[in-house]
Structure 1
């Protein structure tokens, strides 16, 4: 059963991970939504992150799970961005991908069954 996550980027300009190669590059709600959706649907972000580890062969392949049907909608709300995510992936993987993309510049606002 999919889960719906409500995420806020309080200061979109600060929603950047520690590694510029892995973090968000977008400035607007639609761009953030597209980048997160791709990070959930494909293994590209995981593969780039894994290749940067000291021993890529020791990385748990389960961290690279994907959800080809994941959907992310972005809404600009005053000065912050709201992302609504629907995915079958466990919350631990969503959090890991958000940490890579946005660092500490995001907030999980609510979770509900989709």
Structure 2
């Protein structure tokens, strides 16, 4: 099922994960959208994260799900960024990728059918 996720980065300057190897590097809405879209379309971010785990082979492979057709649109609103993700990615995978990219500095505002 394809869903539309409405996400807010309340303070874009703080939207960084805890580990610099995986975090957002973007400074604007378009950059955040591009980086999240790449993280959903490919397994690059997941694989880089998996390989640094204590036992990479024990990581749930379902967290590596990808959606080559995922799209992310970004809009800047003063200090915050609104992202609209359209994807078949399960919510648990989306949340995992967002925690890597933005740490706890994001909010899931709504989910609808696409």
Same fold (TM over 0.5): yes
Listed one character per residue, the Cα deviations across residues 4-55 of structure 1 (whole Å, up to 9, x for unaligned) are 0000001011101110110100000000000000000000000000011001
Residue 70 (structure 1) aligns with: 70
Residue 54 (structure 1) aligns with: 54
Distance 1:59 1:96 in 2: 13
- The within-5 A match list for 1:18-97 is 18-97=18-97
TM-score by length of 1: 0.98
Aligned residues: 114
Distance 2:59 2:78 in 1: 40
Q: Which runs of 5+ in 2 are unaligned?
A: none
Q: Tell me the secondary structure at the aligned position of residue 110 of structure 1.
A: strand
Alignment root-mean-square deviation, CA: 0.6
TM-score by length of 2: 0.98
After the TM superposition, which segments of 4 or more aligned residues of structure 1 sit over 4 Å from their partners? Answer: none
